[in-house]
Amino acid sequence: MKAFWSSAWEIIEIVLISIVTVFLIRNFLAQPFLVSGASMEPTFDNRDYLIIDEITYRFREPERGEVIVFRYPQDPKVYFIKRIVGLPGDRVVIKNGKVVVYSGGQEIKISGDTNGSVDRTMGEGQYFVLGDNRYNSFDSRNWGPVPRENIIGLTRLKIFPINEFELIKTPATL
């Protein structure tokens, strides 16, 4: 009988340690994210399964070009995935199908054609985000900048479909 209780206790310990470990990882380090829609094509397709790094932005601020997951500013229960184009203090101008960011006296031309018309300067803690599929994306052109506190994390891994498994890198140029 003593052997039974000893074995049962070991199983309970393993289960408890596993639950605590998963809880800590899921809530403080990384979490899964399922892409829904075509707004990030060709970078990410509908139903791609990603891992989001939740710890990096505790040590540094988000950077231009990074793909982030965030809470939609008009409904925090909804999560979006987009690319950061404008940082706090930047002026983002979308005109004649082109995106230009003015940052620290420099003009940064963002590649790819787009629709819409915007001329907006980001305030403190505000980020301008766009989908990579600019003609099929509901983003900062429609509802304005994303507040820093809405940002959940940085995309790090694409794990599904398996044949497209990859480490996500921020492009050198946009």
pLDDT band at 133; cut points 50, 70, 90: very high
The residue type of 171 is P
CATH class belonging to 2-163: mainly beta
- Residue 2's pLDDT is 74
Between 135 and 13, the more confident residue is 135
Taking residues 113-142, report their average pLDDT.
Answer: 94
pLDDT band at 22; cut points 50, 70, 90: low
Strand partners, 118: 94
Would you list the domain boundaries of the chain? Answer: 2-163
pLDDT band at 165; cut points 50, 70, 90: confident
- Residue 93's pLDDT is 97
d(CA 153, CA 148): 10
- Residue 57's pLDDT is 93
d(CA 16, CA 21): 8
* Mean pLDDT score across all residues of the chain: 89
Taking residues 17-32, report their average pLDDT.
Answer: 67
Residue 169 has pLDDT above 90, yes or no: no
Taking residues 61-90, report their average pLDDT.
Answer: 96
pLDDT band at 14; cut points 50, 70, 90: confident
Between 7 and 25, the more confident residue is 7
- Residue 59 sits at the vertex; the CA angle it makes with 146 and 121, to the nearest 5 degrees, is 30
The pair of structure tokens assigned to 85 is 């184009």
- Residue 160's pLDDT is 85
Between 125 and 168, the more confident residue is 125
- Residue 24's pLDDT is 59
Residue tagged active-site, from 18, 82, 103, 140: 82
- Residue 126's pLDDT is 98
Residue tagged active-site, from 6, 18, 36, 39: 39
User: Can 82 be counted among the known catalytic residues?
Assistant: yes
